[in-house]
Amino acid sequence: MVDVSVKTEFYVATGSPPLEERVRVLKYGPMFAVFDRFGDIRTSGLGEHGIYFRGTRYLSRLNLFFGSTQPLFLSSGVRADNALFSADLTNVDLISDDTVVLGRGTIHVVRSRLLKDGTCYEQMRLTNYGPTTVRLPVRIEFATDFADIFEVRGVTRPRRGELLPEVIGHDHVTLSYMGLDNVKRNTRLQCSPAPSEVSESRIMIETELPPRETAKIQLVIECGENLSPQADTFDNALAAVVAELAEKQSACCAIRSSNNQFNNWLNRSLSDVHMMTVGNPETNYPYAGVPWFSTVFGRDGIITAMECLWVNPLIAKGVLQYLAATQALQNDPLAEADPGKILHETRHGEMAALGEIPFGCYYGSVDSTPLFVMLAGEFYQRTGDLDFIRALWPHLELALAWIDTYGDLDGDGFVEYQRRSDKGLIQQGWKDSSDSVFHADGSLAEPPIALCEVQGYVFAAKNHAATLSDALGDANRAKELRAQARQLQQKFEARFWCNDISTYALALDGRKNPCCVRASNAGHCLYTKIAAPDRALRVARTLMDDDSFSGWGVRTVSSNEHKYNPISYHNGSVWPHDNAVLAVGLANYGDTFAAARLLDSLFEASSFFELNRLPELMCGLHRRAGEGPTLYPVACSPQAWSAGSAFMLLQASLGLSIDASERRVVLNRPALPDSVSSLRIDSLQLGDSQVDLEVERVGHEVKVNIEHADKSLDVVVHSSQ
């Protein structure tokens, strides 16, 4: 492993080239599994394969053999609802003493896997299509390292805990590890029917298959500190997971277009958001991404909730509830916490418990707090749920107080960050690579740093809080907050605008010098509407120029900039969630056609990724005719805010907004991407009412047909002409 210190920002090490094939992923609650197309867990490639639970890898190897040979691959995939992985396998020629004793393709194996409640359920159905009875030895080899997720990512540790002696029974084996945190972690593998052999590293099952008969093997892998006496059956677990996912689906409006592949993308995106949410102990809170970020992140959860708000506001409510419950109430420099600050991330592994990493409960993000207030305002606009806002209000006031005090320690009216612990993140905006904030000459900005998008978030937070204050009957507080927002906007325009490059500065450094760099951050200023209208149009043109728009989306940094690198994490790559925010920003200033162009580019990119699943990011290389986008090697997939981006992109293209207090649905200058000629939205809920819409392209116009709307709703369409 590569020795990566705290000072290198817990970089995800790439010790060897990744495998050409894409991995398969399952997730349920705090457990996830990463494996190959066979269903095997291997140690090659990036080394990320494994079954993980609460920040620890509980199984690092799982390989299936028929006799001494690996099965022959036929096909595999993950179900559309993400509940189940299945692989179709068969036997290769089995040879003994130079004689073929079992011809290739005689045995068909369906290998299925699902996760639920800290347990991996695996079932193999073996069918004999040969003319004679077959005796087939099935061997399962396994291993565990009980590695912390940060060890898997490349961080070395001076000491580790102790692997304990295995406990072997007639049908099971239990592997255990006593951590330095005095927590005993266990992995139990149990097989049915009872195997012929069980050891610390393999299970042997002798199967006898008459012609046209099917045998079933079930393997249950349970992980945790306290193992249950009896795990559920495969069929019961599958039925329960399918029911949970279907319940999540039923809470959303239905979207269907004229393009089946577009529908597949939307369906997979929604299923991915649900997979990142179902089973989590934090109700309706989507974890950030698999494998590296399968836990609560404040910023990611908020933005995912914003992306999905019009489709399903329950996610926003869950995110707000959890972040309010974990809001910091005291100063803690190691955790980068101050009263009122909103969580950055949580971790549950051994290294977090020991303080070897600072992320057990970590607050080192500058934007989570204003985004929290923004989400509350957007949630109220979407739902009109004033009782919830009333209960949340003390937390919103604490967040606003943090913005004005700890967020602006030098009192210049801008919110800045500077890490307070040498174990913390150097950069604390969404682009948190250590080299992501720089000047035009490539020199890194010195802290404290005021990011342009953060000032936009604060501006929007103050305006949203003013609206909430009015709703709660405090007109004086509302007036005060609006005045603060106006003052911030004036200062922002004066200090951040870079006329020579037609955009807002990426940031102000510690000496208040602007980082005059063309970056996607400025697009977030369009999302929050802090940008003056004339300058917003110039920013939009800058973002959509070839220097910034790769053909697959807007790059994080223009190709004209000194530190541009299209295969870096934040300095020239393309992030779907970033583009979704930019699309809404463009629509806010009337350019839904540019938003539709972004929607089309990301949709087309999705067709080149397995399962139509947009990853966390892709390389920012310019689009080449007849070729797909270039993969980023350690991108998380699925990633919650990448999945949610599909819905925010569509919302931006349609110019769609919902105002619950006015009982109004508005489509302002609706546009459709070139790949979609018509689109239906059914059961769009607004309180107890709903509306069904059809949007279609007729010639050069996009028309909206109101198929159904309850009488209490007002549906307004502003033509694009």
What was the pLDDT predicted at 44? 72
Rounded percentage of the chain residues whose pLDDT exceeds 70: 97
Mind listing the pLDDT tens digit for each residue in 579-630?
999 999 999 999 999 999 999 999 999 999 999 999 999 999 999 999 999 9
CB 704, CB 670: distance < 8 Å: yes
Once rounded to an integer, what is the mean pLDDT over residues 68-92?
95
Query: Is residue 10 a contact partner of residue 153, using CB atoms and an 8 Å limit?
Result: yes
Q: What is the pLDDT of residue 68?
A: 86
Say which DSSP state 333 is in: G
Which residues does 375 contact at the CB level (< 8 Å), separation at least 6?
Answer: 302, 305, 306, 316, 319, 320
Query: Residue 12: what pLDDT?
Result: 56
For the residues 278-306, what does the mean pLDDT come to? 97
Q: Which is more confidently placed, 451 or 21? A: 451
Whole-angstrom distance, CA of residue 710 vs CA of residue 662: 14
Question: pLDDT value at position 721?
Answer: 54
pLDDT for 10: 56
**Is pLDDT at 253 greater than 70 in this prediction?**
yes
Residues 553-579 have a mean pLDDT of 98
**65: helix, coil or strand?**
strand
Mean per-residue pLDDT, 385-393: 98
| The pLDDT value given to residue 16 | 46
The pLDDT > 90 percentage for the chain reads 90
Cβ(162)–Cβ(192) under 8 Å?
no
pLDDT digits (tens, 9 = 90+) for 476-515: 999 999 999 999 999 999 999 999 999 999 999 999 999 9
Among 14-28, 76-90, 180-194, 338-352, the least confident range: 14-28
pLDDT digits (tens, 9 = 90+) for 14-47: 444 444 467 899 999 999 999 999 999 998 767 8
Residue 4 pLDDT class (50, 70, 90 cuts): very low
Give residue 5's pLDDT. 35
Q: Supply the pLDDT for residue 8.
A: 45
Token digits of residue 263:
């529908």
pTM: 0.95
Q: Which helix H or strand E contains 176, and what residues bound it?
A: strand 172-178
For the chain, the average pLDDT equals: 94
**Contact in structure between 269 and 646 (CB atoms under 8 Å):** yes
Domains identified in the chain and CATH numbers: 6-243 (2.70.98.40), 298-613+620-625 (1.50.10.10)
